[in-house]
Chains A and B, each alone.
Chain A
Amino acid sequence: MSSSRCLCLALVGNPNCGKTSLFNALTGGKARVGNYPGVTVEKKEGVLVSASGLSLQLLDLPGAYSLDPRTPDEEITRSVLLEAQEKTPDLLIAVADANHLERTLGFILELKSLGKPMVLALNMMDLAQKRGFQIRLDLLSQELGMPVIPTVATKKEGLIELLKQLDENCLSLLSSQSSLSSSLSSPPSSSAAPSSQLRSNQDGDLSSLNASHTDQIRARFTEVDRILKQALLRAPSPALWSDRMDRVLLHPVYGSLILILIFGLLFQAVFSWAEMPKEWIEEGFHTLALTLGQWLPDGPLRSLIVDGVMTGVGSVLAFLPQILLLFSFILFLEDSGYLPRAAFMMDRVMGKVGLHGRAFIPLLSSFACAIPGIMATRTIENRRDRLTTILVAPLMTCSARLPIYTLLISAFIPNTQILGVFRLQGLVLLSLYVFGVFAALAVAFILKRVVFPGPRPALLLELPTYKWPSFKGIGIGLWERCQLFVKNAGTVILSITVILWFLSSYPKPPQGAEGPAIAYSFAGQIGHALEPLVAPIGFDWRIAVALIPGFAAREVMIGSLATVYAVEDQAQSLGVSQFLGERLSQQWSLATALSLIVWYVLACQCLSTLAVTRRETNSWKWPMVMLSYMTALAYASSYVTYHVAVGLGLG
């Protein structure tokens, strides 16, 4: 066995069959998460140790209903299983929900026709048994022609038996590999030999090329019925509690109210509960930076660490509370079985602009922040729908825009009363939110027609039986999300923050120079160079300069405006915002202010959004598309706003 390479095992099964729980149980929750090259589908790999101590590689294949490539997930599963690759799985662990054998066994038979050694984990046995499910495992195994192990992945039941079985299969695989006499395609020499009847059936399926695809599916289901007729002693009784819950949760009135309540809670969580830990992190890093600053000698190194690196790390970590909270909700809803139901209820509404029902949560969370919102688009299976949702998510008004809106509105909009109850400032703020939503929906509408044309993908989704989510599983899922964000998006955010720091700090102003130091830096020079470009939308060089560091994060714009207008020193007593507001209202025309507000509604002033888009789409193409279309849209809208305002005499 000197040439024995590491054997590779793959977990395959329908969505919602407990595949991920089994993966976590087998690998101890330690997975390497990445992406398949060129696509957005997540790749999960881990290592499992079999009963005799064999170290085996385990690949968690995306959930699929068939080997026909219809979703990116199914495409990956198909190509891993069918195409010759570096790591073609040597053995398949098929996972089937014991509660839904009538439907899932069809896919198991399809997998079997690939001719690879297979073991079937009959999962969620506890639930099935509670529902009176009884099956002759020996007969099932004999008829399917593969070992069948009952498991409860969430409670780690049946794992020892499964590991033993894997051992047996792997040892025989290794010995057949080393003897070189047999090829990989030979059936496993395991305890259960395939029944001759089934084999001839399968061979018939594969050889008769003229039999249509639908006939093959029919044949498989006929075979499923035949097998179950023999092996199944008692089918699980209907999941009454689940049906009862659906009677409320999918009720036309109560169901909608509960949906609104849950989404409201989710929005509240991301929008305000996350705010406090976010502030702690930011303040913690600010304090840390100040402390470090006292220790370090004055000079470029101190400036780099304090203003560059620490700010960068702080701003990366500051996203974590929002990401954690949003994904706690999403994973809980997904795991419990509610998320597909929410998509079912929202399908019609989102369909009006050509979006998928599942686009609702990502767009809603983008009101708080587009970062977790874009990460949440993973639940949308269709690639075109997912890209559309990612591209419009940053148009939803995120919480980082609020400080700028508040500053500009309080400085330029009179707080007059309207109709007795409303105040003009509040109405303007509300209209900015509405404007953002309208822009997002309009862009989605156009994208779906121009960039991603094609028929609306069919909605065909399983509404799984409700179950109590596994908190350990949610914990593992959250850990994976955070890791992905910090590792991939975080490094990009950090490096660009440092670059922006450099641009705003160097070169230093000459001795005896007047005005703020930033005016002499590269950022200042870029601002001056940009002036002819931004003049048509009413911006001067100062605004252009402030926009550059503001690209790191929208709210940074306030600080940079304060720097450019040199109000920091005088603002000690009044607070920067108030003083800055007064200064701006003296210097800017109303037209300029309105133009800047519109710019902030539409422009992609956020590098973290671009970084996370790169991470989620696995290419720089889509972040560039996002940046270009949003900049063009913002420029055009600001242009119109400015000129209309000037025309109305507000210049």
Chain B
Amino acid sequence: METIALIIDNKKISCPPGTSILEAAQQNGIKIPTLCYHPDLKPFGACRLCLVEDENTGRLMASCVTPVAPNMSIRTDSPDIKRHRRNIVRLMMAEHPESCIVCNKGNRCQLRAIAAQLGIGETKLYSMPNYKPLEQANEFIVRDLSKCILCGKCIRADHELVVVGAIDYNHRGFISRPATVHEQPLEKSNCIFCGTCVSLCPTGALSPKTEYYVGTPERESRSVCGFCGVGCSVTMGVVGDQIAEVSPSHVRTSVNGSTLCVRGHFPHEFLKAERLTQPLLRKDGEPAPASWEESLEIVSTRILDIRKQYGPQSVAFIGSSECNNEEAYLFQKIARVLVETNNVDNPRAAYTQAVLRRIDEKTNGRCRKNPLARLENGDAVFILNADPGEMNTVASFYLKRGSRKGVSLVMANPVRTELTAFSSAFLEIRPQSEFELIKGIGALLYEEQATENGCASPEMQQRSLFSDTDLDKVCQAAGVNMDSLKQAANVLRGKKVSVVTGDEIMLAENGAETVNALLELMAMTQSLGKEDTGFYVLAKACNETGAYDMGLLPDALPGRQLLSDDSARKHWEDTWKVRLSPDQGLSAVRMIEEAEKGNLKALYILRENPFEILPDPDRVRKALENLDFMVVQDIFPGELTEMADVVLPGAAFFEKGGSFTNMEGRIQVFEPVVSPPGEARQDWEILGHLTAKLGHSEPYDSVEKIKQEIARVIPMYSEDGRTYGDWIR
């Protein structure tokens, strides 16, 4: 490959053409100060701090926007350059208000850091601060534009990364600022409060609105956001034992890059909410504080007693797709190995997991890894009855960026969403008519291919699903007109198609067929299992994929193996050294039914709220009242904890270690950022103690041990690395 040779600070360097001088320097360990440069944004050349000098010509150039040229001889810190840099910073400081002492940006202010480095304490210029009113009416972002240095990072983040277009420079010269249309406050603009601009702002002009603390947090820790299935990599700033702020982590390969969404960036309510801080035992009808030892003792003896008296089928376990992998694995192991029942479920993600299972069956597990980056760099994306902007905001950024780059989006949804404006074709379909619609689009594409090849190839003939479709019927059923259907098919024609959908397609009676049809569509366009396409199922909870992988289901074993599969069951019987019943356990809905009948006696609920996710809360309440014994392990008090016989206080995602498997199939490991409040414990720890009480010989005394067991026994997870150390962070 062609390279360009040049000299930077007397160091001989060669790099590919098109590299900027700044990048070339950075790659070779030469530091050039910058304020407006960010690797995720297009270079802009606004701050002029990265000035360098070409010794051959004496020219000064902004290194971030100047590509390398042969025989350049660059100086990055000649006295002349330094003088210029100092002047630039002096001018910025002269316009800057003297508020560093009370500024929330504190030690993270890049302007201050550079001024300090250049030794600019006094500007010796006439101070002309450009006071603007503080904008802080909204709940999330405080804008103090008098501190703005016009680097344009917020504007570029808004346009390039999250593609919203809420702000741009207004006016010009001294009074120019990043502003919304007609200088309206942010909350009156189309800002989505993702906070990406806040974490990129080099000064205190943009800061998160926080009530707990002003200034630099005492320490920072990495974690993975647990508010949706994307699993963004975050850095949490901690003060004492309190999370003061959240920002995207600096890991370059993370799923979210420099972006986050409003839920992950500003989890105020979650952090402020009242928490369960100690175990509660029902004594004389009232929940009373108890010790861990006593509570766990009661849980284990009562469960064992009930099993002895009524059989293992009288005990059931409801887990959650918000549990991390270690908890989910341990929870189902308690059920299957120690209580010997398959009554274990995670009802929240039932539909998503049903879609995943279909895909897995049809593709033989070849479609488990779907990096979101493919949405941005692929050919075409078909979005079917899903609203990524609402459910998995960061995934929607990929789609919007892709659309700007020329990826064709075809969207079929019962309602218009934010992504409609980015779509090349939008079909406003009737609810639950997805199957017909796919058939229609498939038929239009099939027809074309069949006629193109002269006659249908044998391979094509097999795809009978699309071969005799009545298009008029399709249009009628889906409530779309023929022209728009044809337009949608035209957009997809000849392209590799990725699919984005949600769990709502499973609400229709023919939900399973819909998934099949989508897979057929992908197969027909030669898009299935390819390097640049994917089948994306939006995930509301943070570990929907992981809960499925860990076998937190009544009819599946860890590693996505079916309970009814004899060889799989044999494998797990050997691994766990127990006998496993081939009979499918109770699903959450069936558990409620059995509790109503009085057949189910004990229920252990881990991080789930049956009133919220199961239909008919009144019926659920009555059924739960009918139980002999109920354990609730959760983090928030509520109706459910009041009904429970034993309440075990667990930890929020940032208070525990473990791993989540996100909607891409990426396994992400995280450590606790702070400790759980009061006597609350990490959930794996509680479950680990319980396994010992229930008679498991080997103690689970560290989360590491569970991780290693998972990596050892679940093929999918050992493929990703012999040790968990290779799991993606």
Answer yes or no: do A and B interact: no
Seen from chain B, the residues whose Cβ lies within 8 Å of a Cβ on chain A are none
Seen from chain A, the residues whose Cβ lies within 8 Å of a Cβ on chain B are none
